Amino acid sequence: MVSFDRSKPEEALVLVAAAVGGLVVLRAFLCFLGALYSTFLRPAKNLKKYGEWAVVTGATDGIGKAMSFELAKKGLNVLLISRTESKLVDVEKELAAKCPKVKVANLAIDYSNFDKAAQEAVSKALSDKQIGILVNNVGISYPHPKFFNELTDAEMEGLVTLNVTSTVAMTRLALPAMLERRRGAIVNMASAAAVAPTALLSGYSGAKGFVLKLSESLNVELAPKGVHVQCQVPLLVATKLSKVRRASWDKPSPASYARAAVACIGYERTCSPYWSHALQLWVMDTLPFFLVNEVTYGMHLGLRKRALAKASKSS
């Protein structure tokens, strides 16, 4: 038993501080071990148990396209949804050639105008398919970091419509059949910007924060009914949306990210599947809050300055 001299209260403070510090270090270490297991050792679930079909929005580029291919490799039929019909046809042909044993269908939908007619078209496309997995991937970010008051009305409306409204509407369309069968998985793509304040991307951070909290709350509601809802919070991936041209250890290719992302389906309610993203978020969670904010703010100020300088030269 640890004892201390009551005439020296500073000894008690030292012991308490040491105990708290030890618990913080232990928590960080256990989180790190958990991330290692889930990233490298944990077996993927049999996704076909959720149903015969997967639906992927924003399926013709980047993460959405890569996840469509990865889900097809797991034996699921895939319904590709995106805006441009010609791209959908090309991706459908490519996917059918690489995974000839699965069925592939496509539907052209513009989520920036996801009105009643468009929602009815999606509902009709889903009605004759046993939808096991829905991947809400479609979304939009800033052209470059901006202060909130610099956003145009159209930019702000697009952030809400493509990131929030599409996710809510697609979930409501796919969910009833999943509940009826008591089987299904919904994967909502958010961003690391949803986890921590992200200055100069405030509108995007807020929209993805909505997706994060919606997903976490829905999972509590729906898990007892057989439907698992997961929110994935990636950092940068080498896609057109992120404007990252080359993949690297901390910015994976869409294919590398998709392999990790699909392997996580059915497990955590919130995750950052790719190992380097998980590592970066672990570091961010361990560092002081103010320090992470200052580093992010400074980085985005620099990106904004370069973008404005480039625009000034081209005008």
Q: What are 82's strand-pairing partners?
A: 108
pLDDT band at 178 (very low <50, low <70, confident <90, very high): very high
Query: Can 204 be counted among the known catalytic residues?
Result: yes
Query: Does 20 fall in a domain?
Result: no
pLDDT band at 8 (very low <50, low <70, confident <90, very high): low
Sheet containing strand 77-82, edge to edge, reads: 104-108, 77-82, 53-57, 131-136, 184-189, 227-232, 270-271
Number of domains into which the chain is organized: 1
pLDDT number for residue 302? 97
Any idea which residue has 């994976």 for tokens?
252
Query: Does 266 fall in a domain?
Result: yes
Query: Does 201 fall in a domain?
Result: yes
Mean pLDDT over 105-109 rounds to 98
Query: Does 37 fall in a domain?
Result: no
Domain containing 107 equals 46-286+293-304
pLDDT digits (tens, 9 = 90+) for 130-160: 999 999 999 999 999 999 999 999 999 999 9
pLDDT digits (tens, 9 = 90+) for 18-62: 777 778 677 767 766 776 777 778 889 999 999 999 999 999 999
In the set 111, 142, 204, 257, the catalytic residue is: 204
pLDDT number for residue 24? 67
Q: Which tokens in the block code for residue 298?
A: 């400074």
pLDDT number for residue 198? 96
pLDDT number for residue 23? 80
Query: Does 8 fall in a domain?
Result: no
**CATH number where 191 lies:** 3.40.50.720
Over 70: is that where the pLDDT of 1 sits? no
Any idea which residue has 């979930």 for tokens?
171
**In this structure, are strands 104-108 and 184-189 parallel, antiparallel, or unpaired?**
unpaired
Q: Which tokens in the block code for residue 125?
A: 């496309």
Over 90: is that where the pLDDT of 241 sits? no
pLDDT number for residue 37? 76
pLDDT number for residue 6? 59
pLDDT number for residue 38? 73
Over 70: is that where the pLDDT of 80 sits? yes
Query: Does 242 fall in a domain?
Result: yes
Query: Does 75 fall in a domain?
Result: yes
Average pLDDT, the chain: 93
